[in-house]
Structure 1
Amino acid sequence: MTGAPPRWRWALEFLALPKIHAAPFRAPVRVAPFGRGRPVIVIPGMMSADRATALLRASLKAAGFDAHGWEEGMNTGARPAEIARLEQRLCQLAAHSGEPVVLIGWSLGGLFARVLAQRHPEACRLVLTLGSPFSGDRRANNAWRLYEALNNHKVDEPPFAEDPGAKPSVRTVAVWSARDGIVAPHCAAGEAGQSDRVIEVPYKHFELASARGAVAEILRILREELG
C-alpha cells in the first residue's frame, strides 16, 4: 500500500474546517476526571496553531490534566529554533511538575513529539500521535508540496538527526484512520515495532483532534494508558 490518499478523500477534509475554527468556543468533552494534574503538551499539525487544539486541551483540562499548547504560533514546518524552544519547554514543565509529560502530536506535531521523546525520554511519560506521517515515504501524503514550499529543506531531509520512525524508549501510541485524506494510513500506523500500540479510529485527518468523538477516543486511550 503506497501513495497519498486519493484527491476525493482529500477534498472531504475541508468539511471539518468549521470544527477547527470554532474550537476555542466549543464546550469541552467531559468525562469523569482522571488526569490528576499530569502535565500534557499538545502540538498542532501543519498550518495550524494552538487555536486548532483548543477543544482537545479544554477537554484534557476538564478531565484533570494540566494541558498546554506548543506556544509557537502556526506550525509551518520543522524549524530548529521552534523545536529547540519546545524542547526547553518540555524539560521545564517536567521539572516544574515533578513528573514526565504526556506529548500529544497531531499530524506533523506527532513527528516533533517522537523526536523530543527520543531526545528526552526522562521528561516524557507517553507519546500519542494523531495521523502523523512518521513511517514510510515522506511524500505519501497530500501536504508535502506545501511543506517544501514553506521550508528551506526537503520533506525527507528535516533539520534534525533523529529518525521519527524510530520508536522512543517511552510508551508510544499511534492513532490512524482509513478515512484520512491527508496522510497515507500506513504512514500514520507505522510498521511493527515503531509504536507500542496502534489504534484505528473512524475520523478524517482534520477531525482527529477537533471532532468530539475523536476527542472522547483520545481521552479513553489516555485513561487506558495512564490508569
Structure 2
Amino acid sequence: MEATPRARPIWAEVLTGPELLLTVPGAAVAALAAPAGGARPVLVLPGFVTGDLTTAPLRAFLRSLGHRPSGWGLGVNVGVADHIAAGLDRLIQELAHRHGSTIDIVGWSAGGLLGRLLAQHRRELVGQVITLGSPIRLRTGDSNIGLLQEIAGHLFVPTPPRIDVDEIPVPSTTIWTEHDGVVPGRLCCQTPGPTAECVQVRGTHLGLATNPAVMYVIADRLAQRPDVWRPFLPRQRLRWWYPSLEQESSDASALIV
C-alpha cells in the first residue's frame, strides 16, 4: 500500500526569504508574458492564520492586469468557523450582485479550501477556483501546523479529522509544489478531469502568493472567457517554471527521436 505523502521539513520554508526578494521583477515578467484577458472580478482568500495583508501583492498584480480583485475583509483566517462560513456566503452574493457576473476565486492554502467549499454551496455564483498549496485531501496530523490548528480549534471550531474537497462543480486549477514545508504538496493536487487540472511549480508554500510562476498561471486562467475552459499551457520559454510540464516536453521529444 502506498504511503501517505508527507510535508517537507518546516525549515524548507526558509527559502521563502530569497523568493520574496524576486517578487517585483518576477511579477513584471509574469505580467509581460500573461495573455490579454477581460477584467474579471476576483475574490482572493488568505491562508491559515493570515489576513488580507498577505495577499496584497497578488491583488496588486491582478489589478495591474485590469482585473477587479477583492480581499475578503473577514480578518484572520481561522478555518471553517461559523463566522467565516457566513461571511463568505454573504460576500460572494454581494460581489456577484455588484459585478453582475460570477466571481472567480483565488485561495491560498486554507483559503483555497474555503474557496472550494464555497463553490460547492454557491456554484451558480462562482466562475472558477484557483488554489495555491491548498490541501484537497488532508487528515489530522498530515501537516506541519498541527499546533496552530489545535489552538484555532480550541478558540473557534476544531479542524475536521479528514478533509476532502477533491470534486467541485466549477472549473478549477490546483497549484502545488513538491517542496511544500507546510502541507504535503501532492495532497494539494486534485484529480484531473475535463475542467480540473493540477499545475506544479517550484518554490515554497509561504512564497506561493508572490511566486511569478503562480502569478502567470493565475493570469492565464483569468484571461479565459467564462464559458470556455482549456488546460493551462505556458509559453515555451516559460516551461522551465513548471516541472511536470517540462518533463512532459522531454518525454515527448524522446518519443519523436
TM-score past 0.5 threshold = yes
Unaligned runs of at least 5 residues, structure 1: none
- Tell me, yes or no, if the aligned pair for 2:48 and 2:78 is still in contact at 8 Å: yes
Partner of 1:219: 219
Q: Render the CA deviation track for 1:30-54: whole Å, top value 9, x for unaligned.
A: 3467442211000010121111111
Instruction: Give me the whole-angstrom Cα distance separating, in 2, the residues matched to 1:134 and 1:145.
Output: 20
Give the distance between the partners of 1:220 and 1:181, measured in 2 at CA.
Answer: 26
Match of 1:151 in 2: 153
State the partner residue of 2:249.
Answer: none
The offset of 1:132, in angstroms, is 0.5
- Amino acid paired to 2:115: A
Matching residue of 2:6 = 4
Q: CA deviation at 1:4?
A: 3.0
Q: Which amino acid aligns with 2:145?
A: A
Equivalent residue number for residue 46 of structure 2: 44
Q: Extract structure 1 runs of 4+ deviating beyond 6 A.
A: 18-23
Instruction: Tell me which protein shows more helix as a share of its residues.
Output: 2
- Residue aligning to 1:198: 198
The residue matched to 1:99 in structure 2 has which SS? Answer: coil
C-alpha deviation, 1:148, in angstroms: 1.4
Cα distance between partner residues in 2 of 1:67 and 1:96: 13
The farther-off stretch of 56-65 and 217-226 is 217-226
The answer as to whether partners of 1:102 and 1:125 remain within 8 angstroms in 2 is yes
Spell out the pairing of 1:60-99 with structure 2 (5 A cutoff).
60-99=62-101
Larger Rg: 2
Give the aligned partner of residue 111 of structure 2.
109
Q: Is the Cα–Cα contact under 8 Å of residues 201 and 213 in structure 2 kept in the other structure? A: no
* Identity across the alignment (%): 29
Distance 1:182 1:121, change over 3 A: same
1 CA distance for matches of 2:63 and 2:99?
15
1:100-139 to 2 correspondences below 5 Å: 100-139=102-141
Listed as ranges, the gaps of 5+ residues in structure 2 are: 229-257
Letter paired with 2:55: T
Q: Provide the TM-score with structure 2 as the length reference.
A: 0.75
How far has the Cα of 1:192 moved from its partner?
Answer: 5.1
CA distance in 2, matches of 1:216, 1:42: 16
Letter paired with 2:215: V
For 1:45, give the aligned amino acid: G
CA distance change for structure 1 residues 120 and 21 in 2, over 3 Å: closer, same or farther?
farther
Aligned partners of 1:196, 1:131: CA distance in 2, in Å? 15
Instruction: Output aligned runs, 1:54-65, within 5 Å.
Output: 54-65=56-67
Give 1:199 shift: 1.0
Shift of 1:128: 0.7
